[in-house]
């Protein structure tokens, strides 16, 4: 019997800033550790504002300054995503509540974890802030939060302490 890849869905509001970055950084970390095929990642938004759009140019510039280039097309989360993915990782409490509104089975609820649950520097913070209305420093901060959180998430998965 072939075991499927563990599938992780990162979720934010519009699916053009936080969740696509998280998915692509998670994939990069998986590849760097030689774990290709063991994990898959995708991203979705709780709202339909940016379906089909590319990532926010401000985050693309922030990532490029750090030597990381990525692509994505915005999509909205669908109820069947809660069955298709093994872990659902919202960026903040509002995103989490929107995802939980789609839950129809107990096993779906158990899949939902905030990204900052895995952030070793969270110091009690639960949300990856949305940098939409802020300046460049907000994008830098969010990049740092997401990068260290997805590394820690993968550490946790590899240690067998989650999912």
In a domain, 128, yes or no: yes
Sheet holding 6-12, edge to edge: 39-45, 6-12, 87-90
Q: Taking the CB of residue 88, how many other CB atoms lie within 10 A of it?
A: 27
Task: Compute the average pLDDT of residues 79-107.
Answer: 97
The secondary structure of residue 112, as a DSSP letter, is B
Cβ(34)–Cβ(28) under 8 Å?
Answer: no
Residue 137 tokens read as: 């420093």
In a domain, 47, yes or no: yes
Q: One of 12, 56, 75, 116 is an active-site residue; which one?
A: 12
pLDDT score for 150 = 98
The model carries a pTM of 0.96
What is the band of 15 on the pLDDT scale with cuts at 50, 70, 90?
Answer: very high
In a domain, 1, yes or no: no
In a domain, 39, yes or no: yes
3-state SS class at 144 = helix
Please indicate whether residue 18 is annotated as part of the active site. Answer: yes
Phi-psi region of 75 (alpha: psi -120 to 50; beta: other; left: phi over 0): beta
In a domain, 111, yes or no: yes
Q: Is the pLDDT reported for residue 2 higher than 90?
A: no
Residue 41 tokens read as: 């990642």
pLDDT score for 162 = 60
In a domain, 38, yes or no: yes
Task: Compute the average pLDDT of residues 131-160.
Answer: 96
Please indicate whether residue 12 is annotated as part of the active site. Answer: yes
pLDDT score for 160 = 86
Q: One of 61, 130, 141, 151 is an active-site residue; which one?
A: 130
Task: Compute the average pLDDT of residues 138-158.
Answer: 98
- C-alpha span between 111 and 127 (Å, rounded): 18
- Give the count of domains, the chain: 1
Q: What is the pLDDT of residues 19-31, one digit of tens each?
A: 999 999 999 999 9
- C-alpha span between 109 and 82 (Å, rounded): 9
What is the band of 4 on the pLDDT scale with cuts at 50, 70, 90?
Answer: confident
In a domain, 163, yes or no: no
Round the average pLDDT of the chain to a whole number and report it.
96
Which CATH number characterizes residue 44's domain? 3.40.50.2300
Q: One of 7, 18, 75, 121 is an active-site residue; which one?
A: 18
Please indicate whether residue 42 is annotated as part of the active site. Answer: no
Instruction: Please give the residue range of the domain that contains residue 42.
Output: 6-158
């Amino acid at each position: 019997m072939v075991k499927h890849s563990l599938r992780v869905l990162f979720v934010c509001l519009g699916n053009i800033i936080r969740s696509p970055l998280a998915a692509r950084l998670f994939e990069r970390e998986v590849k760097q550790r030689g774990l290709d095929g063991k994990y898959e990642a995708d991203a979705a938004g709780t709202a339909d504002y940016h379906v089909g759009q590319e990532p926010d140019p401000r985050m693309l510039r922030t990532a490029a300054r750090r030597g990381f280039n990525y692509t994505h097309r915005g999509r909205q989360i669908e109820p069947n995503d809660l069955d298709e993915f093994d872990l659902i990782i919202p960026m903040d409490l509002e995103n989490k509540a929107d995802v939980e509104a789609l839950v129809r089975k107990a096993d779906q609820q158990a899949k939902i974890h905030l990204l900052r649950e895995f952030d070793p520097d969270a110091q009690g913070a639960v949300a990856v802030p949305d940098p939409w209305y802020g300046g460049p420093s907000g994008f830098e901060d969010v990049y740092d939060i997401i990068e260290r959180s997805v590394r820690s998430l993968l550490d946790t998965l590899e240690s067998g302490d989650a999912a």
